[in-house]
Amino acid sequence: MDKEKFGALISTLRKEKGYTQKELAQQLYVSDKAVSKWETGNSIPDTSLLIPLAELLGVSVTELLMCERMEKNAILETDTVEDIVKTAIHYGEEKTERAYQVKSRWFIFYGISLLLGAAGLFLNRREPFFESLAVLIVLCAIFGAYFCFFVKTKLPGFYDEQKVTVFYDGPFRMNMMGLKFNNRNWPHIIKVMRYWCCLSMILLPAGVFLAKSAGLTLSNAAWKWTMLAVFFSTLFIPVYIAGRKYENESEHGAGKENH
């Protein structure tokens, strides 16, 4: 997509509708700074904003993607339709990069953690609470695979414009009340989650085994509640601390924290 051409079209349509940048921004629940960036070609709206933006400006989404107006009832040629479809497919990809696309040592660390976690489970295989421990380690493995390989390294633009406390990516959901996700704290949250997932796979079964070997005696229920308390406290507290610390940090220097 030609960002400058797109921005020029947005600017023209906005003025024709009699909107100021601030008025248009308010109706889309973004900042006027975001609208300004669109119009100057420095950025493009998130895919979720295309339909409401088109409706406010009185054009079709097709016209936005083509960056030009179309005559009413105009018949599109096959090549033009194909170009529009390709633009729509690649539109959201311009700002989306997955962890596996970035060279990182976390791939190796995750693999080692997975092997050590499996070994730790094997050592605890005869414990009555083994099934509960196994569930926690499997959850760590799943979350670890996501954050080490598949997580989006950059959030969509609306996270920086609104107070969003929920991160969603397909079936994956992460809700932290009181914590705003944005591209300033997201790299740090990814880093914390990677450390937590990998270290939990190693230390949780190892800690249980060492405690049992040292003669610590607890009931089956007590072991389960202790493991759950450690599991969730070591997850949410570090994420919340990192998220709050960098929530309002300047974006400079934050981009490579997740590499």
Between 180 and 252, where is the model more confident? 180
**The CATH number of the domain covering residues in 3-95:** 1.10.260.40
Question: In this structure, what token pair is assigned to residue 156?
Answer: 């969509």
Query: What confidence tier does 51 reach under pLDDT thresholds 50, 70, 90?
Result: confident
| Range 248-254, long-range pairs (CB < 8 A, 24+ positions) | 248/184, 249/184, 249/185, 250/184, 251/183, 251/184, 254/183, 254/184, 254/187, 254/188
Express each pLDDT in 103-138 by its tens digit: 889 999 999 999 999 999 999 999 999 999 999 999
pLDDT over 70, % of the chain: 84
Q: Is the pLDDT of residue 170 over 80?
A: no
Annotated domain spans of the chain: 3-95, 99-246
pLDDT surpasses 70 at 67: yes
Which of the pair, 79 or 248, is modelled with greater confidence? 248
pLDDT number for residue 155: 85
Is the Cα dihedral 257, 177, 169, 158 positive or negative?
negative
| Alpha-helix runs per DSSP H in the chain | 3-17, 21-28, 32-39, 50-57, 61-66, 78-91, 106-123, 130-145, 158-161, 186-213, 220-246
Average of pLDDT values for 155-164? Answer: 76
Q: What confidence score (pLDDT) does residue 96 get? A: 66
Over residues 144-168, mean pLDDT: 84
User: Which residues, other chains included, contact 60 with Cβ-Cβ below 8 Å and sequence gap of 6+?
Assistant: 54, 70
Q: How confident is residue 251, by pLDDT bands cut at 50, 70 and 90?
A: very low
- In this prediction, residues 222-232 reach a mean pLDDT of 94
Question: pTM for the whole thing?
Answer: 0.63
Q: How confident is the model at residue 151 (pLDDT cuts 50, 70, 90)?
A: very high
pLDDT at residue 74, rounded to an integer: 56
Of the candidates 57, 90, 60, the one whose C-alpha atom is nearest the C-alpha of residue 74 is 60
